[in-house]
Chains A and B, each alone.
Chain A
Amino acid sequence: MSTAVAQAPHTTGARGSRALVLGLGLVAALLLLVLVLGLSIAVGAKPVPLADVWSAWRDPDGSYVSTVVASRVPRTQLGLLVGAALAVAGVVIQGLTRNPLGDPGLLGVNAGASASLVVTAAVLGGAAGRTVWAAVPGALLAAAAVYLIGSGGRRATPVRLVLAGAAVSAVLVALVEAITLADPEVFDTYRSWVVGSLAGRPPSTVGSVLPFVVVGLVVCLLLARPLNALALGDEAATSLGLRAGRTRLLGAAGATLLCAAAVAAVGPIAFVGLAVPHVVRSFTGSDHRWLLPYCLVLGPVLLLAADVVGRVVARPGELPVGAVTAFVGAPFLIMAVRRGRVGL
């Protein structure tokens, strides 16, 4: 998975045609994303024909349909941002730690971010608890705690990190529940957010997390080559002229920013960062120059599709998107374990 690719002596022609195939695949993935974006706006309590979505969005005419569409647009934008953020963060975490089980949800980062947001909201009031900055310290602290517990002063294996993540998450989730249950005001704000949901988020959310997601994505996408070098091991990477420490720092900063922004926007959502890179890797191999763009596109596809499914399966209610991604993504964890190479 994350180990070095044994570069077979490709002819330039074979490499070129592979790039062509992967490039075309990326275009197909983009088309898929457009389709899912359309579905995300079309499907709901009041379905809109897919054909009408575009016109109703471009030229709002005050009709009922265009009002419905306008009300679903922020939710769809949110899904786009968060899906991309989580999938890219997942792939960067996996690359940095050479850990196929890297996922912000599994490694406690999401729980740390949510605990930090809820604590901020309880102390400083609800509005402060929606800013991305409030999520950053918790995300960092949780990641550090998981790493310390998982390594126990020695080398951290993927499985140990996941177990440490489960322990840290359990404590932090209990903290979140203790605070939200004790404070009715906070509880009201966080009821749907705690389980990870695109529904019912204030309209200003998109604007407030957008800059963070963009910065995080740019940082991570620029790291494609250094991450490839890092996959060869620190020593090999250094001999190739890579400053491994700087790559780690930048990658960790970018991934933390993405996780913090995603959690601040929609709550803790697990398994997107695990499942998407695993699927993508199966056809791109471990070259981050392809992995990262594919994850950027297919992350939102998974999250938005999960959100659409969540709206359909539980009518008249709605299943939070976090539950759907858990159901779809958890089997990838089992697959990764079965395939081995996770420190067992």
Chain B
Amino acid sequence: MSAPAVLSLGPSVVVRWRGRPVVVCVAALVVMLVAMLVTLSAGRLGISLAELPGVVAGSGSRAQEWVLWTSRLPRLLVGAAAGAAFAVSGAVFQSVTRNPLGSPDVIGLGAGAAAGAAAAGLVWPGVVPVPVGALIGAGIAIGAVYLGSGAGFRAPLRMVVVGIAVGAMSLAFVQLALARATREDAQVLAAYLNGSLAARAWSDVLLVVAALVVLLPVALVLTRPMQLVEMGDEVAVAVGVRADRVRTWAVVVGVLLTAAAVTVSGPIAFVALTAPQIARRLTRSTGPGMVAAACCGAAVLVVADLVAQYAVPGVVYPVGVVTAALGGVYLAFLLVREWRRSPA
């Protein structure tokens, strides 16, 4: 690992940075932007690259304006922001549990948030707003996993198995909500079962971007203490970091981010599992790189949505199907590698 360079702004502000994560972030953002442009120009209603500046400037046809501003841009932005939110949440949880399998989507947090959103939107409409419902659901799910595992966050494998149970119960609750709902509602909210980015609005963009703006800095502040806590509670205490407090804050940030992302996109599987791991591999860093994870998450979800919409001509899949397929393969790979490494 290269030694960190130091960027000094005057005598008091000193920022340490390494080159590699910056390159990774830029590369991920470029991939994301290319995928966005391809998505915009694809399909029968696509806006070609040559026309795009004109449409942005307001000189396109009404149809083109509609495609850009109402149909495709909100979807792309929700995808990017939700991907980033999932990824940061995943990085936080993976750090707290010290295991890639401790991701919010593997331990049932996403499903819990979806159940909460379905409860707020369908079963008891008007009691609390849907995002608050998602937050309550995610909170209940993480509480159930924490208590259910009987060992708190110290036994990641136990958490995962308990999370499978919590996730199954949550999705069963979502099905209950859908079965009770009237047909039109159910069509919209069916996305809560699988995760989908179809028909997103600007209000969704606003919600998830606002969550990121508030919570990403908190996650950044937590990065260093979390890195120390990862080395073990004794090490952390020895250098003056209170491990329990760091963990609590980290879990709060992770739960909030997952709830925000699930509110706008449903429980899209395995982005939170894969994106932080991709980021860690690419940056070759040891700690949770929040910004790199966020960039990778945004790129992963935007690319996955592109694949979901246009890979098979004539069929539009919910993006959750694509991420579940890819993420499942990755999970299997992780398991095999982990078994090889750890004794018995």
Contact = CB atoms under 8 A, between A and B. Distances in A.
Interface stretch (A90-98, A202-210, A313-321): A313-321
B280 interface: no
A122 interface: no
A186 interface: no
B332 A317 contact: no
Contacts of A330: 165-166, 168-169, 172
A165 to B, nearest CB: 9
Interface residues of A, number: 51
B222 interface: no
B148 A170 contact: no
Contact of B162 (A163, A314, A334): A334
A330 B180 CA distance: 22
A323 B160 contact: no
Contacts of A127: none
Given A152-B340, A175-B325, A338-B150, A163 B160 contact: yes
B155 A344 contact: yes
Nearest to B186: A317
A333 interface: yes
Interface stretch (A42-50, A66-74, A153-161, A256-264): A153-161
Interface string A162-200: 111011111101110110011000000000000100000
Contact of A318 (B155, B160, B166, B179): B179
A18 B165 CA distance: 34
B172 A344 contact: no
A108 B325 CA distance: 14
Contacts of A271: 168
Interface string A91-110: 00000000001000010000
A154 B344 contact: yes
Contacts of A169: 328
Interface of A: 101, 106, 149-155, 157, 159-160, 162-164, 166-171, 173-175, 177-178, 181-182, 195, 270-271, 313-315, 317-320, 322-324, 326-327, 330-331, 333-334, 337-338, 342, 344
B312 A164 contact: no
A154 B328 contact: no
Contact of A323 (B106, B172, B321, B339): B172
27 contacts: A101-B161, A149-B335, A155-B344, A162-B161, A162-B164, A163-B157, A163-B160, A166-B106, A166-B160, A166-B164, A168-B328, A170-B270, A170-B325, A174-B322, A175-B325, A177-B194, A178-B321, A181-B317, A182-B312, A313-B176, A315-B180, A317-B181, A320-B179, A323-B175, A327-B172, A330-B165, A333-B164
- Lowest 10 CB-CB distances: which A-B pairs, in order? A152-B339, A170-B328, A171-B328, A174-B325, A314-B179, A330-B165, A317-B179, A167-B331, A323-B172, A333-B165
Q: Interface centre among A149, A167, A175, A331, by most B CB within 10 Å?
A: A167
Nearest to B169: A330
B80 interface: no
A301 B336 CA distance: 38
B332 A178 contact: no
Nearest to B193: A195
Interface string B139-179: 00000000011100001011011101110110111011001
A164 B164 CA distance: 12
Given A177-B317, A182-B315, A168 B161 contact: no
Interface in B282-322: 312, 315, 317-318, 321-322
B267 interface: no
